[in-house]
Amino acid sequence: MNLSIQNVSKQYRRNFWGLRDFSLDLGAGVLGLLGPNGAGKSTLMRILATVTQATEGKVIWNGNSHAVDIAKKPDELRQVLGYLPQDFGIYPHLDAIEFLEYLAAIKGLDGRTARRRIDELLQVVNLVDAARRPLGGYSGGMKQRVGIAQALLNDPELLIVDEPTAGLDPEERVRFRGLITELSGERIVILSTHIVSDVEAVATSIAIINQGHLVTHDLPEKLLQEVEGKVWMWMTSSQELTTLRQQYLISSTARRSDGVHVRVVAEQKPNGDAQPVSATLEDAYLYLISRAN
């Protein structure tokens, strides 16, 4: 099982490219796709989900049968694809079961398989008690859980989820992360987000995208090595914080009764009081994005 993205570019206007010469090869596991808003993540997701076509380059899907160019034969990928777009929509007058039955029919599932699968997924996304309520009355997090369920209806070989934890409360996010971890061994999962902690919890590899270009693709531990020895922390005042933001790459701040504890990514020791601290994936992400700008 392999997904090969080969020199893919997407042009929206004459001088604006959403993606530029993007290449990536993926096997089974969870790819965490990280990047700031507007970096090109959703554009890439839509191309991989056969919603839109690349302007240049191609994507080759080599599933359990044979390799296909998804632009030329999109239906072969769609049969084994699960997709949760960032702007997932629902039919407000249908309840969760009716909605999932409708989508199961579109995906070609027979009635018995669909009913069994829907029962399983309502348990997985914790919506059994609300299954017969109209979707129009659901909260944002509940609608997102319905979206996760529909993406899994056909037990996909390729699962693409774009900002899947938006609107989920902390308990639901933990549940979702556990679900992705369980799924990862037998399929390709692409998790696109700007929430580094979601990626840190589940990804087997990480790709960072910025301004339509691939910045890097590597194992999480390799990305951490990039910034090891470059992360510092010390205490400062609120008055000095504005100046520090102009001078350094600040990854986090924490206000305490004794002042502001500031965390900085820098090649050299930035301050006489600064102490080295262990790097996090958030530090590595910010460092690599800043180098790419």
The pLDDT tens digits of the residues spanning 71-82 come to: 999 999 999 999
* Predicted confidence band of residue 48 (pLDDT cuts 50, 70, 90): very high
In the chain, the amino acid numbered 4 is S
What pLDDT digit, counting tens, does each position of 194-225 carry?
A: 889 889 889 999 999 999 999 999 999 999 99
215 vs 86: which has the higher pLDDT: 215
20 vs 197: which has the higher pLDDT: 20
Average pLDDT, the chain: 92
* Region class of 256: left (phi > 0), else alpha (psi between -120 and 50), else beta: beta
Helices (H), 125-184: 140-151, 170-183
Residue 1 has a pLDDT of 86
Residue 277 scores a pLDDT above 90: yes
Q: What does the alpha-carbon distance between residue 193 and residue 200 come to, in Å, rounded to a whole number?
A: 11
Angle between helices 140-151 and 96-106 (to 10 degrees): 30
Residue 181 scores a pLDDT above 90: no
Residue 136 has a pLDDT of 95
In percent, how much of the chain has pLDDT > 70?
A: 99
**Pair 77, 158: CB distance under 8 Å:** yes
Residue 64 scores a pLDDT above 80: no
Q: What does the alpha-carbon distance between residue 15 and residue 21 come to, in Å, rounded to a whole number?
A: 15
Residue 60 scores a pLDDT above 80: yes
CA 12 to centroid of chain Cα atoms: 22
Residue 51 has a pLDDT of 95
**Pair 48, 168: CB distance under 8 Å:** no
Cα angle at 207 between 124 and 179, to 5 degrees? 10
Farthest-apart Cα atoms in the chain, separation: 69
Closest CA to 8 of 46, 58, 42, 48: 58
Residue 174 scores a pLDDT above 80: yes
58 vs 257: which has the higher pLDDT: 58
0.85 surpassed by pTM: yes
Residue 188 scores a pLDDT above 80: yes
Closest CA to 151 of 100, 102, 76, 95: 100
In the chain, the amino acid numbered 275 is Q
Contacts of 79 (CB under 8 A, 6+ apart): 108, 154
Q: What does the alpha-carbon distance between residue 50 and residue 76 come to, in Å, rounded to a whole number?
A: 10
Residue 189 has a pLDDT of 94
193 vs 184: which has the higher pLDDT: 193
Low-confidence winner among 48-52, 101-105, 140-144, 163-167 (lowest mean pLDDT): 163-167
Residue 170 has a pLDDT of 86
Residue 146 has a pLDDT of 93
